[in-house]
Amino acid sequence: MIALRYVLSLIFVVQMYLALAVIGIVFFPWALASRNGAFAAAHSFCWWVRASARVLCGLRSEIRGTPPTGEVLIAAKHQSFFDIILIFSAVPRGKFIMKRGLMWGPVVGQYGRLLGCVPVKRCERGAAIAKMKADVTRGAAAPGQIIIYPQGTRVAPGVKRAYKVGSGLL
């Protein structure tokens, strides 16, 4: 039984990244023409990941309450890749404050730019905070929900880690 779960988990991860590439390529012309296309692609990917996680891994997910639709700052714990999927799938126009290095990745980087995500070069500390604030102000022309992880990185459940100042300043 454990071997089967391992195999299904492996299949899930492989097919998730294949789906990222396929959805990214299929939606790319629309995404270049309109931000609506970029959001449709990202929401389609989120739907796919949640559905395939349920089928392959038995992982059920749910969004409780009424997610915000207006301009708002969402400061959430970052425990896994799956929390990114859940939060983004719940809001109509999510924009992440994200590690700058991710902007260079294929598909994720291109869509990050098209969605209006704000890259942060964490090693620059004070300068990074000033640039993040300026980028968020400049990006306000395209309304949406800004999503930030106040601890700045993934933190395992139960582990305590200090919060960064970025979400407080925003």
**Sign of the CA dihedral running 158, 164, 168, 170:** negative
pLDDT at 91: 97
pLDDT tens readout for residues 36-68: 999 999 999 999 999 999 999 999 999 999 999
pLDDT tens readout for residues 12-21: 999 999 999 9
Distance CA 10, CA 7 (A): 5
Is residue 79 within 8 Å of residue 155, measured between CB atoms? yes
pLDDT tens readout for residues 126-139: 777 788 878 887 77
Report if pTM > 0.85.
yes
Give residue 164's pLDDT band: very low, low, confident or very high (50, 70, 90). Answer: confident
Residue of 80, 164, 82 whose CA lies nearest to 129: 164
| 89: CB partners within 8 A, 6+ apart | 43, 46, 47, 50, 63
**Higher pLDDT pick, 100 / 55:** 55
Distance CA 103, CA 110 (A): 7
| Helix or strand run (H / E) with residue 119 | strand 118-120
Is residue 129 within 8 Å of residue 168, measured between CB atoms? no
pLDDT at 140: 67
- How many other C-beta atoms are found inside a 10 Å radius of the C-beta of residue 61? 14
Give residue 160's pLDDT band: very low, low, confident or very high (50, 70, 90). Answer: confident
Domains of the chain by residue range: 2-169
